[in-house]
Amino acid sequence: MKVLRKASNRGHTKIDWLDSWHTFSFGNYYDPQHMGFGPLRVINDDVVAPGQGFDTHPHDNMEIVSIVISGALEHKDSMGHGSIITPGDVQKMSAGTGIHHSEFNPSQTDPVHFLQIWIVPHTQDLTPMYQQKNFTDADMRNLLCLVASNEPDKNTILLHADVQIYQSKLDEFKTVGFSVPKNKAAWIQVATGSIQIGEYLLNAGDGLAIWDEEETFQIMGKAKESNFILFEFER
């Protein structure tokens, strides 16, 4: 089965410094029909104004992944980490027993566009952990690049959840193939551009859920460049 989640149907938070679209229920946006998908709990599509950001706030028992699409994001946390996240970087916090962190746009001129993803971990009350890894344009260009995995021997971000995350930058009319076994599900989230999957055309902000069908499908770029994220997990 495939179900399309259109960008315009998402929840929306708009304040002076933040423009945020919520694929699943988050904050003041509540929709009992969209509480998550499998272990995916949050996919927030955020644009933060120059010099603004999220003040220090707590998290626990969640895998939190940030992927910057454009601009830069400054991270600080109670574990002592401080970093700048830019396009190509994937950052993960295993919040575990509890952390505090802040996220700010360090630029005084340019907004930052990023996806913040929350994933329910397979184990509660883990020791908090931080990781950040860069993947090059060549890693992702017209390829499905595995950027996060639950397998510690992979050269990826390590997730404490039975989830694999791929990122791709597809040129127009280029394709990548992917197989979803019947015992697994997938979610494809388009960050920029547009892609075609069978009869489904996905534009920026759209998501597609796939489950209960064993299928190999082709993803085709339908814009000059299309940046998308693919999640695979047991459901």
> Sheet of 82-85: strands edge to edge?
53-59, 99-104, 73-77, 82-85
Give me 76's structure tokens: 């600080």
What was the pLDDT predicted at 163? 97
If one counts every other C-beta atom within 10 angstroms of the C-beta of residue 98, the result is 12
The number of angstroms, rounded, from the C-alpha of 232 to the middle of its chain's C-alpha atoms is 12
CATH number at residue 216: 2.60.120.10
What was the pLDDT predicted at 213? 81
Total tally of structural domains belonging to the chain: 1
What was the pLDDT predicted at 170? 98
User: What are the angstrom distances between the C-alpha of 29 and each of 24, 35, 200, 205, 216?
Assistant: 8, 10, 26, 17, 34
Report field, pTM of the whole predicted structure over 0.85: yes
Q: Which domain holds residue 10?
A: 2-234
What does the pLDDT profile of the chain (235 residues) look like in tens digits?
A: 999 999 999 999 999 999 999 999 999 999 999 999 999 999 999 999 999 999 999 999 999 999 999 999 999 999 999 999 999 999 999 999 999 999 999 999 999 999 999 999 999 999 999 999 999 999 999 999 999 999 877 789 999 999 999 999 999 999 999 999 988 999 999 999 999 999 999 999 999 999 988 878 999 999 999 999 999 998 8
